[in-house]
């Protein structure tokens, strides 16, 4: 049984001032499961619904339609106390990843305290020291305040905090995006090592395809709230078939076929047919009429595009 | 358009809230009108009095009845004088409005220029004086200033009158003799506030790159002032001005007390002690309406000047 | 709050007190931090204090001293020998100020100076109690509104609108008519009059914090709402609360003295500064010191509070303009 599984999940938001409310379909009919120990990379442009997906899997948002199950049971039905320690998140902004008013050590130990397993303050300090060293920071950094650390160091502290309960599932939402490239590589390495040791499952959200390639075993591509491709990492980076996936690869320099240059545009307007049809270089008349279903292929590959039929 | 409608809707809602609050607040005051004015009357007489003045039935029933009449433009009758509430208020309104108007003029023609000047001469003594005097002005309770003026002008009147009133009908000069001191007293807090706001917004504008650029382009100080500084300083001042204007009507209570003036503020105070429910209710609603409307208008104007305001308001 | 004063400037949000450190790369991929102020990373309390004094400037220090001594005198006033001179006929009637009777005596032969000292005490006691209570309750409501949003938030916002629009002195008068004139009525009135401002300001600051990454992370780790509000959000809006409390204190003092001046606050024989002014105004022409002395002291006290509040604001939130409402 999958650790976490979204079935036909949709999430809508209401946006705009009260007198001009409109619905934003941030996530539409998503089927996606995360197996134990699996890291799924989620890519897509800004506003494509990646964070919304992450929030769904972490239980911060409930699906408007469809379900999200954890070990087969709806996640929403599991009380907060039972979820504690099993989930963790490392988010985007190094500046805000840690409570500026709390010492680093207090932030790191908090998840364990919430579980009631932190032990004496001696033990706490020792634990924090160990886990900080695990993320290549000196143990005595626990006595510092976040503003005394650099952005990269703070992200490492966030990772340490996420790891301290040995969680089952970790959400990385643009966890390295704000860091310098050299720091990024170190942090990515660390995440990969930790994943191997701790064995958590993860959703790794990034708009940087090179970063996801490094840590993820599967890649899910989102566009305007829909999953347009879900492919094993190897397949995705070698022979991605979805035109939008190729567009993203071109944009991050992994592909040099200029046919797939993405015209950045608005992707919130309602489009009949394939939601990509106004931007896709390969669009043809069928694309204007019908939305392509997500088709299943070998090795768990799933693609939504009229050009991928058998 | 929708933005304006929404703003007006909110304003109406707020006023309705104030009306409800004042109605039930007044009913919470222990001791009924009959208790207070006919302490020796028999049970039956009291009942009769209650019915006569519409004070029988539960508070909720009275409320619904009152609201219905209010919406039809029936403001009720004073329990004390038996005159229509609206007459009681209209009779005193000119005095209160004039005080408010004069106070606004003082604020606009003294506070605003002083604020601009004190902001323009940054780091010189004018700026420091501006800063401290605005704080000082905001720190004087207006009844303290009023008492001081009443005392000072009783020693040497300089032709001005501290206390009493001459309506405009007796000539402008005569009227101003009486109006100047209370109006100045009323203006004091707003004066400090506008001074401080104008000063800090001028300071904010002066430090900006485009002003520095204009200076380095050799634009004349006069042009820099009129094209950049003045205009930019104006917007926050207008907001504050609306707030101050809204507060003035409610602020006349003390000034009218100190200068023994028979205005709306004093009427309200006296009506509270006399349990004259209808007068208090209408007076409070009118004052609140003035406050809400000035702020709403400022909001709408702001929305027209700066379209971002209309978009910012989601949620 | 330990580090509130350790960095000198940040213009981002009222809550971001710490991020002004400048950074440079040390060549190993790690970025080191250089604190902009003196005292490096961990200034001792002493260093912090001297730095604070330097930033604040001499005038502020003087104001703080005046304020503290007023509060101090207010606290010890009942135990001072001079307190006896509040008794009727302890001196001549309506004596003008002399060396012995510093502020003169009133119509019943009481020392105005002694009464003013008592007045300071009551004025501070009532307004501090009410404003601090409003600060606590208002912080709580403001944070809850920011956290829950939706209907609750809207309801709170509309309630605040109504209280704002209600003429505040009339509100105070009605409150004092309901619960009977006196100190308690004054406290309740001040509480409700300053509460909406507190709620709005704290809500505004908390809105900027509720979706911060560290709050989300704590939530996912299983922290309860109460824990998030008090451990993660409150410390980050506390500076705003403190500054606002200082600012509202002056308003509270004005409301208290206004109510007492109208005879609906503190009742005789106790007297706050406003009540003294009320008593004195009947004798304005024959014994003006009965009005001028408490009036001057009241103004000075409010001025000090405003001044110190402004200074606190400019130290804690350098880039924030003065809150307007
Ligand atoms: N709380 C919200 N209220 C209203 N709309 C929202 C909310 N959260 C997200 N949205 C909308 O949902 C869509 C998807 O947002 P989401 O944050 O999931 O995108 P994203 O892929 O994470 O983008 P980014 O790369 O910029 O983080 C966007 O159009 C966004 O405006
Ligand atoms: S369905 Fe058509 S428009 Fe959509 S991705 Fe495929 S080719 Fe492009
Ligand atoms: Mg996102």
pLDDT, mean of residues A61-75: 92
Closest C-alpha to A77, from A68, A64, A88: A68
Would you tell me which residues 42-71 of chain A have a C-beta closer than 8 angstroms to some C-beta of chain C? 58-60
**To probe the interface with B, which of A13, A14, A17, A22 has the most B CB atoms within 10 Å?**
A17
Would you tell me which residues 51-110 of chain C have a C-beta closer than 8 angstroms to some C-beta of chain A? none
The reply to whether C220 touches chain A by the CB within 8 Å rule is: yes
Mean per-residue pLDDT over chain A, rounded: 88
What is the pLDDT, as a whole number, of residue A263?
64
Mean per-residue pLDDT over chain B, rounded: 80
pLDDT, mean of residues B185-209: 84
The reply to whether A18 touches chain B by the CB within 8 Å rule is: yes
State how far the alpha carbon of B177 is from the alpha carbons of B102, B155, B171, B174, in Å.
Answer: 12, 16, 10, 5
Tell me which residue range forms the domain holding B121.
Answer: 2-17+89-275+288-314
Give A169's DSSP letter. Answer: E
Is the per-residue pLDDT at B155 higher than 90? Answer: no
User: Which tens digit of pLDDT belongs to each residue from C20-67?
Assistant: 333 333 333 333 333 333 334 455 667 777 777 777 778 788 888 888
Q: Which H/E stretch holds residue C193? A: helix C183-210
Look at A17 and B5 and tell me if their CB atoms are within 8 Å. Answer: no
- Which chains, if any, share at least 3 CB pairs under 8 A with chain C? A, B
Would you tell me which residues 272-291 of chain C have a C-beta closer than 8 angstroms to some C-beta of chain B? 274, 277, 280-281, 284-285, 288, 291
pLDDT, mean of residues B4-15: 89
User: Which tens digit of pLDDT belongs to each residue from C141-161?
Assistant: 999 999 998 889 999 999 999
Residue B162 lies in a domain: yes
Structurally, chain B folds into a number of domains equal to 1
Give C214's DSSP letter. Answer: H
Is the per-residue pLDDT at B20 higher than 80? Answer: yes
Q: Residue C61, exposed/middle/buried by CB under 10 A (0-12, 13-18, 19+)?
A: middle
State how far the alpha carbon of A35 is from the alpha carbons of A61, A76, A148, in Å.
Answer: 20, 19, 38
Residue B37 lies in a domain: no
What is the pLDDT, as a whole number, of residue A166?
92
User: Which tens digit of pLDDT belongs to each residue from C287-323?
Assistant: 778 788 888 889 998 998 888 888 877 777 644 433 3
- Give the nearest chain B residue to A21 (CA atoms): B314
The distance between the two most distant Cα atoms of chain A, rounded to a whole number of Å, is 69
Is the per-residue pLDDT at A50 higher than 90? Answer: yes
The DSSP annotation for A238-288 comes to HH--SHHHHHHHHHTTS---GGG--------S--SS-TTTTT-TT--HHHH
The pair phi, psi for residue C31, each rounded to 5°, is: -100, 125
Question: Does ligand 2 have an atom closer than 6 angstroms to the CB of A224?
Answer: no
pLDDT, mean of residues A17-39: 86
For residues A191 and A135, what is the distance between their CA atoms, to the nearest angstrom? 9
Would you tell me which residues 140-159 of chain C have a C-beta closer than 8 angstroms to some C-beta of chain B? 149, 153, 158-159
User: Which tens digit of pLDDT belongs to each residue from A134-143?
Assistant: 999 998 999 9
pLDDT, mean of residues A243-256: 83
What is the pLDDT, as a whole number, of residue A113?
92
Q: The complex's ipTM?
A: 0.89
What is the pLDDT, as a whole number, of residue A266?
52
- Per-residue pLDDT band at B80 (split at 50, 70, 90): confident
C19 against B182, higher pLDDT? B182
Question: Does ligand 2 have an atom closer than 6 angstroms to the CB of A305?
Answer: yes
Backbone φ/ψ region at C177: left (φ over 0), alpha (ψ -120 to 50), beta = alpha
CB–CB of A89/A170 below 8 Å? yes
Residue B134 lies in a domain: yes
User: Which tens digit of pLDDT belongs to each residue from B121-131?
Assistant: 766 677 777 77
- Give the nearest chain B residue to A15 (CA atoms): B314
- Point out which residues pair with A226 in neighbouring strands: A223
- Give the nearest chain A residue to C7 (CA atoms): A147
Give A140's DSSP letter. Answer: G
Residue B80 lies in a domain: no
Would you tell me which residues 238-267 of chain B have a C-beta closer than 8 angstroms to some C-beta of chain C? 239-240, 243, 249-251, 253-254, 257-258
For residues A223 and A267, what is the distance between their CA atoms, to the nearest angstrom? 8
What is the pLDDT, as a whole number, of residue A183?
86
Is the per-residue pLDDT at B264 higher than 70? Answer: yes
User: Which tens digit of pLDDT belongs to each residue from A216-227?
Assistant: 999 999 998 899
Question: What is the bridge-based pairing of β-strands A65-70 and A4-15?
Answer: antiparallel
- Point out which residues pair with A11 in neighbouring strands: A27
For residues B83 and B88, what is the distance between their CA atoms, to the nearest angstrom? 7
With pLDDT > 70 as the criterion, what percentage of chain C qualifies? 74
What is the pLDDT, as a whole number, of residue C30?
38
Mean per-residue pLDDT over chain C, rounded: 76
Question: Does ligand 2 have an atom closer than 6 angstroms to the CB of A215?
Answer: no
**In terms of residues, how long is chain C?**
325
Residue B235 lies in a domain: yes
Q: Where are the domains of chain C?
A: 58-319
CB–CB of B162/B92 below 8 Å? no
CB–CB of B81/B89 below 8 Å? no
Task: State the smallest CA–CA distance between residue C320 and chain A in angstroms.
Answer: 19
d(CA A267, ligand 1 centre) in Å: 12
Is the per-residue pLDDT at A31 higher than 90? Answer: yes
* Beta-carbon-side half-sphere exposure of residue C48 (alpha carbons within 13 Å): 13
pLDDT, mean of residues A96-121: 90
What is the pLDDT, as a whole number, of residue C322?
38
Range among B20-29, B175-184, B213-222, C218-227 rated most confident = C218-227
Instruction: Estimate to the nearest angstrom the gap between the alpha carbon of C141 and the chain centroid.
Output: 18
CATH of the domain at B116: 1.10.3720.10
The reply to whether A20 touches chain B by the CB within 8 Å rule is: yes
User: Which tens digit of pLDDT belongs to each residue from B227-238?
Assistant: 777 777 777 788
What is the pLDDT, as a whole number, of residue B307?
56
Contact pairs from chain B to chain C, CB under 8 Å:
134
Q: Which H/E stretch holds residue C48? A: helix C45-56
What is the pLDDT, as a whole number, of residue A81?
84
Contacts of A16 in chain B (CB under 8 A): 314
What is the pLDDT, as a whole number, of residue B36?
64
User: Which tens digit of pLDDT belongs to each residue from C231-279?
Assistant: 999 998 888 888 888 889 998 999 999 988 888 888 877 788 888 888 8
d(CA A26, ligand 1 centre) in Å: 6
pLDDT, mean of residues C125-141: 93
Q: Out of A159-173, B202-216, C99-113, C292-306, which region has the weakest mean confidence (pLDDT)?
A: C99-113
Residue B24 lies in a domain: no
Question: Does ligand 2 have an atom closer than 6 angstroms to the CB of A221?
Answer: no
The reply to whether B314 touches chain A by the CB within 8 Å rule is: yes
CB–CB of C240/C17 below 8 Å? no
d(CA C127, ligand 1 centre) in Å: 46
pLDDT, mean of residues C216-223: 92
CB–CB of C252/C127 below 8 Å? yes
Question: Does ligand 2 have an atom closer than 6 angstroms to the CB of A54?
Answer: no
Is the per-residue pLDDT at C162 higher than 90? Answer: yes
Question: Does ligand 2 have an atom closer than 6 angstroms to the CB of A287?
Answer: yes
Nearest beta carbon to residue B17 from set C158, C254, C274: C158
Is there a cis peptide before residue C269, judged by omega within 30 degrees of 0? yes
Task: State the smallest CA–CA distance between residue A233 and chain C in angstroms.
Answer: 28
The reply to whether C58 touches chain B by the CB within 8 Å rule is: no
User: Which tens digit of pLDDT belongs to each residue from A226-239?
Assistant: 999 999 988 888 88
Name, in order, each residue with C-beta under 8 angstroms of C313's C-beta and a sequence gap of 6 or more.
C243, C246, C247, C320, C322
The model's pTM is: 0.84
What is the pLDDT, as a whole number, of residue C190?
93
Look at C167 and B257 and tell me if their CB atoms are within 8 Å. Answer: no
CATH code: domain C58-319 is: 1.10.3720.10
Task: State the smallest CA–CA distance between residue B136 and chain C in angstroms.
Answer: 6
What is the pLDDT, as a whole number, of residue B312?
42
């Amino acid at each position: 049984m999958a650790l976490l599984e979204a079935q036909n999940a949709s999430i809508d938001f209401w946006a705009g001032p009260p007198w001009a409310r409109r619905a934003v379909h941030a996530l539409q009919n998503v089927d996606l499961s995360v197996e134990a120990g699996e890291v799924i990379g989620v890519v897509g442009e800004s506003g494509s619904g990646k964070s919304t997906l992450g929030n769904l899997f972490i239980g911060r948002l409930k699906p408007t339609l469809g379900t999200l199950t954890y070990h087969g049971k709806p996640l929403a039905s599991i009380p907060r106390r039972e979820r504690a320690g099993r989930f963790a998140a490392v988010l985007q902004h190094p500046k805000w990843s840690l409570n500026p008013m709390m010492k680093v050590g207090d932030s790191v130990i908090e998840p364990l305290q919430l579980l009631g397993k932190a032990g004496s303050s001696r033990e706490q300090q020792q634990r924090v020291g160990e886990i900080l060293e695990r993320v290549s920071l000196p143990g005595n950094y626990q006595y510092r305040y976040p503003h005394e650390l650099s952005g990269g160091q703070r992200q490492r502290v966030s990772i340490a905090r996420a790891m301290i309960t040995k969680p089952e599932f970790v959400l990385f939402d643009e966890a390295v995006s704000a860091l310098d490239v050299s720091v990024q590589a170190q942090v990515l390495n660390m995440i990969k090592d930790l994943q191997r040791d701790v064995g958590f499952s993860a959703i790794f959200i990034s708009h940087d395809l090179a970063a996801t390639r490094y840590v993820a075993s599967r890649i899910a591509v989102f566009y305007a709230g829909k999953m347009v491709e879900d492919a094993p990492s190897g397949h995705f980076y070698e022979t991605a078939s979805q035109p939008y996936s190729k567009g993203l690869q071109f944009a991050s320099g992994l592909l040099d076929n200029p046919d797939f240059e993405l015209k950045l545009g608005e992707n919130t307007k309602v489009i009949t047919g394939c939601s990509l049809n106004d931007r896709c270089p390969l669009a043809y008349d069928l694309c204007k009429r019908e939305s392509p279903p997500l088709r299943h292929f070998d090795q768990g590959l799933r693609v939504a595009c009229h050009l991928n039929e058998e | 358009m929708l933005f304006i409608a929404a703003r007006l809707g909110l304003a109406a809602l707020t006023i309705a809230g104030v009306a409800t609050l004042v109605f039930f607040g007044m009913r919470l005051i222990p001791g009924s009108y009959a208790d207070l004015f006919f302490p020796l009357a028999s049970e039956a007489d009291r009942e009769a009095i209650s019915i006569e003045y519409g004070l029988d039935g539960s508070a909720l029933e009275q409320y619904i009845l009152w609201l219905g009449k209010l919406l039809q433009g029936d403001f009720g009758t004073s329990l004390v004088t038996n005159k229509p509430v609206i007459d009681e208020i209209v009779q005193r309104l000119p005095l209160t409005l004039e005080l408010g108007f004069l106070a606004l003029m003082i604020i606009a023609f003294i506070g605003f220029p002083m604020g601009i000047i004190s902001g323009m001469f940054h780091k010189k003594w004018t700026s420091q004086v501006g800063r401290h005097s605005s704080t000082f002005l905001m720190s004087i309770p207006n009844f303290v200033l009023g008492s001081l003026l009443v005392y000072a002008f009783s020693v040497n009147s300089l032709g001005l009158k501290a206390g009493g009133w001459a309506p405009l009908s007796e000539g402008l000069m005569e009227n101003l003799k009486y109006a100047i001191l209370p109006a100045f007293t009323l203006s004091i807090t707003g004066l400090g506030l506008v001074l401080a706001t104008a000063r800090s917004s001028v300071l904010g504008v002066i430090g900006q790159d485009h002003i520095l650029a204009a200076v380095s382009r050799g634009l004349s100080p006069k042009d820099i002032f009129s094209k950049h500084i003045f205009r930019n300083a104006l917007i926050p001042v207008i907001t504050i001005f609306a707030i101050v204007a809204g507060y003035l009507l409610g602020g006349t209570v003390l000034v009218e007390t100190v200068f023994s003036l028979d205005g709306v503020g004093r009427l309200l105070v006296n009506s509270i002690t006399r349990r004259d429910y209808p007068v208090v209710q209408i007076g409070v609603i009118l004052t609140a309406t003035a406050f809400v409307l000035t702020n709403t208008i400022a909001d709408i104007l702001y929305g027209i000047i700066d379209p971002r305001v209309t978009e910012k308001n989601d949620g | 709050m330990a580090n509130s004063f350790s960095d000198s400037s940040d213009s981002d949000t009222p809550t971001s007190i710490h991020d002004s450190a400048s950074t440079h790369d040390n060549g190993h991929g790690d970025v080191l931090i250089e604190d902009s102020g003196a005292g490096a990373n961990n200034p001792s309390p002493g260093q912090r204090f001297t730095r604070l004094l330097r930033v604040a400037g001499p005038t502020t220090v003087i104001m703080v001293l005046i304020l503290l001594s007023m509060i101090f005198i207010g606290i010890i006033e009942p135990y001072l020998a001079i307190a006896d001179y509040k008794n009727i006929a302890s001196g001549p009637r309506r004596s003008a100020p002399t060396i012995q009777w510093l502020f003169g005596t009133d119509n019943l032969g009481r020392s105005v100076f002694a009464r003013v000292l008592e007045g300071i005490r009551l004025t501070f006691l009532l307004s501090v109690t009410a404003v601090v209570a409003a600060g606590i309750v208002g912080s709580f409501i403001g944070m809850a509104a920011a956290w829950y949003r939706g209907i609750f938030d809207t309801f709170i916002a509309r309630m605040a609108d109504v209280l704002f629009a209600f003429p505040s002195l009339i509100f105070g008068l009605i409150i004092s008519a309901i619960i009977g004139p006196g100190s308690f009525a004054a406290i309740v009135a001040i509480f409700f009059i300053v509460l909406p401002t507190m709620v709005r300001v704290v809500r505004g600051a908390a809105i900027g914090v509720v979706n911060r990454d560290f709050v989300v992370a704590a939530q996912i780790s299983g922290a309860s709402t109460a824990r998030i509000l008090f451990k993660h959000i409150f410390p980050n809006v506390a500076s705003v609360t403190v500054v606002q409390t200082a600012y509202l204190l002056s308003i509270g003092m004005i409301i208290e003295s206004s109510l007492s001046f109208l005879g609906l606050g503190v009742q005789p024989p106790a007297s706050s500064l406003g009540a003294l002014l009320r008593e004195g105004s009947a004798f304005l022409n024959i014994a003006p010191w009965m009005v001028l002395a408490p009036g001057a002291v009241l103004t000075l006290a409010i001025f000090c509070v405003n001044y110190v509040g402004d200074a606190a604001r400019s130290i804690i939130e350098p880039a924030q303009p003065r809150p307007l409402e």
